[in-house]
Amino acid sequence: MCAGRIVATALTLIAAARAAGAQPPTFTRDVAPLVWSRCAGCHRAGAVGPFSLITYDEVKRRATTIAAVVAKGVMPPWKPVPGYGDFADARRLTEPERTLLRQWIDAGAPEGNPADLPRVPSWATGWQLGRPDLVVTLPAAYTVPADGAAYRRNPENPLNAPNLRDNDVFRTFVVPIPVDRTRYVRAIEFRPDNARVVHHANIGIDRTRSSRQLDARDAEPGYAGGMVQDARYPEGQLLGWTPGQAPHAASPGMQWRLEPSSDLVVQLHLQPTGKRETLGFSVGFFFTDEPPARTPVGLRLGSETIDIGPGDARYVVQDQYVLPVDVEVLAVQPHAHNLARRMEASATRPDGTVVPLIRIDDWDFRWQDVYRYARPIALARGTRIAMRYTYDNSTSNPRNPSRPPGRVVWGQNTTDEMGDLWIQVAPLQPSDVTTLTQDFRRKAHAEDLAAYTKLLRSDPDNPLRHDAVAGLYFEAGDIDAAIRHYERSLELNPASAITQYNLGIALAGRGRRDDALAHFQEAVRLDPDYAQAHNNLGAVLYVLGRRSEAVDHYRRAIALGPDNVDARTNLGVALSELGRAQDAVVQFREALALRPDSAAALGGLAWIRATASDPALRNGTEAVALAERAATATGRRDLSVLDALAAAYAEAGRFDDAAAVAREAVNQAANAGLAAVADRFRDRLKRYQQRKPYRLEPEK
């Protein structure tokens, strides 16, 4: 039993004895320890509570308020119903503790003997998890406007479509994380310096610099709107903050990987107070040298097509998902807005056993949390996880912000509505992480497409909506539909470099290389510092045989983003084809230093180490090791990797293995209808059968 549970159990026993009438309760002997344990975590100087509850005078002055909020269950702010999930660090009061407070207040809140007062606990005055290994701070404070009318749309962010009727500000801040090597993060702690204006924070990591580019285009700190797609929660972690939420370390063995040159991305939902306020924040990182042993996965159940008519007091949203693998459930995070009144979730095992996951009978938008289970819940493959939200859009809902009630649809603003349940699970077998991720992605993608298609129908001339729908179609493999929506978006907003770039990607996927080239060129004309556009422009030029031009754009992409693994790998391939093997080796090694598991860089370097005309660059043993790693990473389905693997075996004198891989490549190419590629591998096969390694032409 942990120390916190020992203290809680002792307090409950003491409260039960006092409530039974053994002795009249007093502040010094009975109430102070209870209030300090249950309330003072937030209600003390420097904490998020609006007033302190440490001294007798402070508590007595608020006695009537305490009695009211405890009776209603408003305080302490713990919403889950007992018996529906055994959660760690539960803040609820037991019934004996409630009775004790009520008896003390009814008796006139007596102070008692000062000699009975225990020593006031000490709370961490700074970081709650101890001294961080690294602190990242917002360089310049943001001025929160007096009201949400100052909220501005960011024309480059397709996730940003605000409703200016709302008194909300959604602002995303981007701060570089100064680490020069791969680190493993066991915990983070978010500390705003003005918590009263922050409703909640979502925290992600962006390695692409997309978020940084949006930030750079906005004159104020951060940018308007939410996180872009490239900013993601790391490896199934539920990283966020709400007032009163205590920081937690990752589950044992599930620390997450932080790569060099990553950006911290903090999306804040701000609620203006009626006057201008300043806001800054710091985030503490706590590292470990141990790599993760398991990888969690985040599952989201919910609906993005919510549409609640005025007066509807029983609107219901339901969703479910059947697990394709065995997992352990670690935590849940429900999220909804003001109209939600009740939510519940359960898991039905294959044998019919129902496991309650969480239930909240009095939903309150102001108090949302990540609820971590005291012990992981094991769920077998075939278990059905189901959730249900009930909403009340009538005047009988005291939290309905609209009088009279109006139509409410899905959206991120406070006067919109949401209904999500995030579930953090850990597959029992590491190999099942990919299976679960891919299976759930198919489900989530269909829901996202339905939601954004509905939003587009109500706002057909919004280019950002077309961009969002196009991206979802592209992800689903419907490239023609994606092209149509990107083209319509450019009709509405031809100056969007992002849309020009995305249309280029889609056209390239359809084999329309000349058209793709034109849109990539337009993207870099509109934004000369668009690194990914330079990289993909180089890729099209390379395919069109314009390799020297391709090299120029690859180098430009690297100059803009030295950590751009794709650009370095592409440059390595181009240099290798141009006969500049030594320069290519440098680029491949730089790419692998940034991303050691890059299959393209592994295969490219293996190819040179196996086939270079310069004997000083050849190393059969290293070539085999590199190529085998690349083949494993690609499931032996990448023909260029198989080419490198066969050449590596030949350089190492393993000609039978080289021939076997070449035959494998011939079959794959033939089955894919790539006749010319299959013929090339047949030529390689003859060479290996003759016990001859493959050699590149000498450099010129």
Boundaries of every domain in the chain: 3-116, 134-288, 297-441
Q: What is the pLDDT of residue 688?
A: 96
Mean pLDDT of 141-155: 66
Tell whether the model's pLDDT for residue 79 goes beyond 60.
yes
Q: In whole angstroms, how far apart are CA 375 and each of 12, 85, 346, 637?
A: 22, 10, 16, 40
pLDDT for residue 197 is more than 60: yes
Exposure on the CB side of residue 669, measured as CA atoms within 13 A = 20
Longest dimension (CA), the chain: 101
7-21, 292-306, 506-520: least confident range? 7-21
Residues in the chain, total: 700
pLDDT digits (tens, 9 = 90+) for 632-651: 999 999 999 999 999 999 99
pLDDT tens profile 606-617: 999 999 999 999
Q: Supply 377's token pair.
A: 């819940």
DSSP code, position 236: G
Q: Are 638 and 646 in contact (CB under 8 A)?
A: no
Mean pLDDT of 322-350: 96
Which has more confidence, 270 or 213? 270
Q: Does domain 134-288 have CATH number 1.10.10?
A: no
- Is the confidence at residue 510, as pLDDT, over 50? yes
Tens digit of each residue's pLDDT (9 = 90 or more) over 46-58: 776 778 888 899 8
- Read off the pLDDT of residues 553-609 as tens digits, 9 standing for 90 and up: 999 999 988 888 999 999 999 999 898 999 999 999 999 988 888 999 999 999 999
| Between residues 199 and 134, the one the model is more confident about | 134
| Side-chain half-sphere exposure of 543, counting CA atoms within 13 A | 13
Residue 176 preceded by cis peptide, ω within 30: no
Residue 126 clears pLDDT 90, i.e. is over it: no
| pLDDT number for residue 89 | 78
* CA-based nearest residue to 384, from 418, 345, 339, 330: 345
The long-range contacts involving 143-146, CB below 8 angstroms and separated by at least 24 positions, are 143/220, 143/276, 143/277, 143/278, 143/279, 144/169, 144/194, 144/197, 144/270, 144/272, 144/273, 144/276, 144/277, 144/278, 144/279, 145/169, 145/272, 145/276, 146/272, 146/273, 146/274, 146/275, 146/276
Report how far apart the first and last C-alpha atoms of the chain are (Å, whole number). Answer: 72
pLDDT digit string (tens) for 375-432? 999 999 999 999 999 999 999 999 998 989 999 998 877 788 999 999 999 999 988 9
Supply 571's token pair: 């440059």
CA pair distance 602, 588, nearest whole angstrom = 7
For residue 188, which of 201, 173, 170 has the smallest C-alpha distance? 201
Contact 376, 326 (CB under 8 A): no
pLDDT at site 9: 47
Residue 233 has pLDDT above 80, yes or no: yes
Rounded to the nearest angstrom, the gap between the alpha carbon of residue 556 and the centroid of all alpha carbons in its chain is 29
Cβ(138)–Cβ(220) under 8 Å? no
Whether 341 shows a pLDDT value over 90: the answer reads yes
CATH of 297-441, one of 2.40.50.1020, 3.80.30.20, 2.60.120.230, 3.40.50.10490: 2.60.120.230
- Please report which confidence band the pLDDT of residue 127 belongs to, taking 50, 70 and 90 as the band edges: confident
Looking at the chain, the number of H-run helices and the number of E-run strands are: 20, 21
pLDDT at 336 over 90: yes
pLDDT of residue 18: 53
Contact yes or no for 424/454 (Cβ under 8 A): no
> What does the block give as tokens for 421?
């349940």
Task: Using the Cα atoms of residue 617, residue 622, residue 628 and residue 634 in order, give the sign of their dihedral.
Answer: negative
For residue 63, the model assigns a pLDDT of 87
- Who has greater pLDDT, 622 or 9? 622
Q: Are 254 and 288 in contact (CB under 8 A)?
A: no
Q: Are 163 and 410 in contact (CB under 8 A)?
A: no
In degrees and rounded to multiples of 5, residue 687 shows phi and psi of -60, -45
Tell me which DSSP letter residue 150 carries. G
Rounded-to-integer distance, Cα 630 and Cα 243, Å? 46
**pLDDT of res. 348:** 98
Higher-scoring residue by pLDDT: 664, 245: 664
Q: Which residue has the tokens 């590292």?
A: 287
Residue 5 confidence (pLDDT) above 60: no
Confidence (pLDDT) at 162: 38
Could you tell me which residues are beta bridge partners of residue 302? 420
Q: Give yes or no for a contact between 422 and 332, defined as CB atoms under 8 angstroms apart.
A: yes
| Cβ neighbourhood burial of 103 (10 Å; 0-12, 13-18, 19+) | middle
**SS3 track for 99-141:** HHHHHHHHCCCCCCCHHHCCCCCCCCCCCCCCCCCEEEECCCC
Least confident of 239-248, 286-295, 492-501: 239-248
Would you call 106 exposed, middle or buried from its count of C-beta atoms within 10 A (0-12, 13-18, 19+)? Answer: exposed
CB 299 within 8 A of CB 321: yes
Structure-token pair, residue 142: 């943001």
* pTM of the predicted structure, to 2 decimals: 0.71
- At residue 148, the pLDDT reads 58
Decide if 134-288 and 297-441 have a common fold.
Answer: yes
- Mean pLDDT, the chain, whole residue set: 88
Query: How far apart, in Å, are the Cα atoms of 585 and each of 225, 571, 592, 679, 680?
Result: 41, 10, 11, 28, 24
